[in-house]
């Protein structure tokens, strides 16, 4: 019962705070509420989980920015075999860094979460991303990509 009350208070607080926020802040608030609920985080576990998760999530965002910049820097019209190979090597190097970061995050979170919760986190992150993309598609009037709808 106490757990239900805590989750309800967190959820209601999140909803009320959401109305006074910018879109990016709304998404972040919704993500926190979504993951907290999906992982069934207790207040004690949440206090340990969020600092670790946020640190890794910030690093993950930086690597995604690098990936975006790398993709934008490719000029296939003027590429030589040598420059193309360098971009391919850079791309796989970046992917290796992303994988290493994910593995490190899972190891560190394993000290806070059970293995089942870590697996649920991986699934919940993907589900939340699909949900956000679907809602953005609906707002733009396109209803989202057909292959993304459920």
pLDDT at 2 over 70: no
pLDDT for res 150? 45
Q: CB neighbours (10 Å) of residue 7?
A: 16
Q: CB neighbours (10 Å) of residue 35?
A: 20
- CB 60 within 8 Å of CB 101: yes
Q: CB neighbours (10 Å) of residue 37?
A: 14
What mean pLDDT do residues 21-43 have? 93
What share of the chain in percent tops pLDDT 90?
A: 75
Indicate the SS3 state at residue 76: coil
State in Å, rounded, how far the first CA of the chain is from the last one.
Answer: 32
């Amino acid at each position: 019962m106490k757990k239900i009350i805590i989750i309800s208070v967190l959820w209601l607080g999140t909803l009320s705070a959401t109305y006074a926020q910018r879109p990016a802040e709304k998404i972040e608030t919704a993500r926190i509420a979504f993951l907290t609920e999906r992982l069934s985080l207790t207040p004690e576990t949440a206090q340990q989980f969020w600092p670790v998760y946020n640190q890794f999530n910030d690093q993950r965002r930086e690597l995604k920015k690098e990936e975006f910049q790398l993709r934008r820097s490719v000029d296939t019209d003027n590429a030589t075999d040598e420059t193309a190979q360098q971009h391919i090597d850079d791309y796989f190097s970046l992917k290796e860094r992303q994988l290493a970061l994910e593995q490190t995050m899972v190891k560190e979170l394993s000290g806070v979460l059970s293995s089942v919760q870590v697996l649920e986190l991986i699934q919940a992150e993907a589900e939340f991303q699909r949900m956000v993309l679907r809602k953005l598609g609906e707002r733009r009037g396109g209803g989202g990509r057909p292959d993304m709808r459920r």
